[in-house]
Amino acid sequence: PSGPRRKQRAVIGARRTARSARPGPRMCACDALMRTVLRGAQARAALSLPWSLPRVRAPRYGGCRSFGLVVSAAASTTMRGEGKLLSLPPIGLGTWKSRGDDVKQAVLESLRLGYRLVDCAEAYGNESLVGAALAEAFDAGLVRREELQVVSKLFNNYHGRERVPLSLKKSLADLGLDYLDLYLMHWPIAFEDIELPSPARGDDGTPHPQIRGRIEFVETWQAMAEMKASGRVRHIGVCNFTVPQLEELIAGTGEVPCVNQVELHPFLYQRELLEYCSSQGIAVMAYSPLGSPDSYSGKLAGPILLENPIVAQVAADMGCTPAQALIRWGALKGACVLAKSVRPERLKLNLDAVSLAMTPAQEQALDALHRDYRFGLGWLPGHFLPTT
């Protein structure tokens, strides 16, 4: 048969195959879709998917209800949940430490260049400035709301069922949005008080002695899930979680986070964490992809990652800047790389980096730089903070 009849048969076959691949207790709807895709040409034709998929370099699909796959480092990390397609690009704009008019202009310029993800957080103290830039971008037609992924984070002082809605309400108001595409738990740590001393850290990065915190995330995650059910959040995930904490969260709630946003660069490869996230279908977002020499521990790091001779050599061989080589490395690990800059020329270089060619030998040379060095400091001894 040909024409309409062939298409009708393909659709019927795809529906039958989809019914046989319905999600089980540890399989999400996206996993079922992927199983359908992999079962035959009928499903591929009916779903209008490519006849052949490019080589996968990113985490495989798994238990997350909203995670799909990355088809290439220059393509998108596709997540499907609640019938809404969310596409995580291989690079997003980071807004940490950006202040004043700089952050507004950086957001506007990044959107002009083609960035389609903006990473924010209530704790950054600049969401109202990001919101002003977004409003201007929408009014000017630079991007439509549905084309943009806006990420925000719940900080430690808003853990707990009663506090989560307060934090989300504030972020939505500051950003001028009706919903967030992705809402992340900033740390697996709860502070006792909402009001924090200023500054919250000392000169060496040590948390203020008045801050009282503990490891807590299950109750807060359940409250975040309620925000998702309300429609004010499309997807939820976490930041700075270790493998044991992810295991505890999944075991305690039966839910798999969409995303784990973590520090990731050649000095901190985190291979075990990447492999675990891959096995569970958790997408990874990478912050501080260039190292963070102006962070508290970055001031003590000695040689700066961007000035490392191996990084410089790889970049020279690639015909690019060291920053571009590091961004490409992160993309090849399957991460959505959060590159931060307020300079237009660097924003463009960062965006161009994800499509550069890096050979396996060059990638392995950067892998070998791993020294388990973390630029960012945590908030509790034993969790990214020295115990002595």
Structure tokens at 293: 């020499």
From the list 225, 193, 190, 229, the residue with the least C-alpha distance to 210 is 193
| Alpha helix ranges (H) inside the chain | 4-20, 29-39, 41-46, 100-113, 127-140, 164-175, 218-230, 243-253, 271-280, 309-318, 322-332, 344-353, 360-367
Q: How many angstroms from the chain centroid is the CA of residue 232?
A: 19
Structure tokens at 200: 């919250």
From the list 290, 271, 385, the residue with the least C-alpha distance to 341 is 290
Show which residues are catalytic.
Answer: 124
Q: Partners of 196 in the beta sheet?
A: none
Whether the Cβ atoms of residue 60 and residue 73 lie closer than 8 Å to each other: no
Structure tokens at 329: 């490395």
